[in-house]
Amino acid sequence: YTGKKGNQLISEALKKMSVKDYKAMPVVIKEESSVYDAIVMMFLEDVGTLAVVNNRGTLAGVVSRKDLLKVAMGKQNLQDIPVSVIMTRMPNIITCHIDDPLIEVANILIQNQIDSVPVVRSIENGLEVIGRITKTTITKAFVELGIDKDV
């Protein structure tokens, strides 16, 4: 017996959880796509946030449910508005990397009051989107922590 307290063991298990092992598949839309297409994609892919990419395939911004609701309340034709006009754009996008501890990303979600962050890696001229961490990801990891694998 190591003499470690329960909370120390949980804390150690938490710190071992990495973005790499929990990230979900990226869901991306091109910046010239319409707001209408973004709404359709959100339903089809069953996600709350889309990563927006430019024609080089690098991260240009993100669009959330509320971003889309806001513009949908107006009178404009949603087919005529590109997502690039309403997205939150770079360099203001909060991202994470494959080797980040999941607990750090969870803290970033809370501190910034956002539901998700894209997982990115640096490539020439920008950031390639390789996954996403969402509140659902964190909830799954939380549930896993509660399962005693040694029993």
- Site for ligand ADP, rule CB under 6 A: 48-49, 62-67, 88, 92-94, 114-117
Tell me the two tokens of residue 49: 């946030």
Q: Residue with the closest Cβ to ligand ADP?
A: 66
Instruction: Decide whether 16 or 66 has the Cβ nearer to ligand ADP.
Output: 66
Residue among 17 and 105 whose Cβ is closer to ligand ADP: 105
CB-nearer residue toward ligand ADP: 17 or 93: 93
> Which tokens is 145 given?
């922590």
> Which of residues 13 and 110 has its CB atom nearest to ligand ADP in the complex?
110
Please name the residue that has the structure tokens 């997502």. Answer: 83
DSSP result, 70-114: HHHTSSS-TTSSBHHHHSEETTS---B-TTSBHHHHHHHHHHHT-
Minimum distance, C-beta of residue 135 to ligand ADP, in the bound complex (Å): 9
- We find the least distance from the C-beta atom of residue 7 to ligand ADP, in angstroms, to be 30
Taking alpha carbons only, the member of 87, 41, 30 closest to residue 64 is: 87
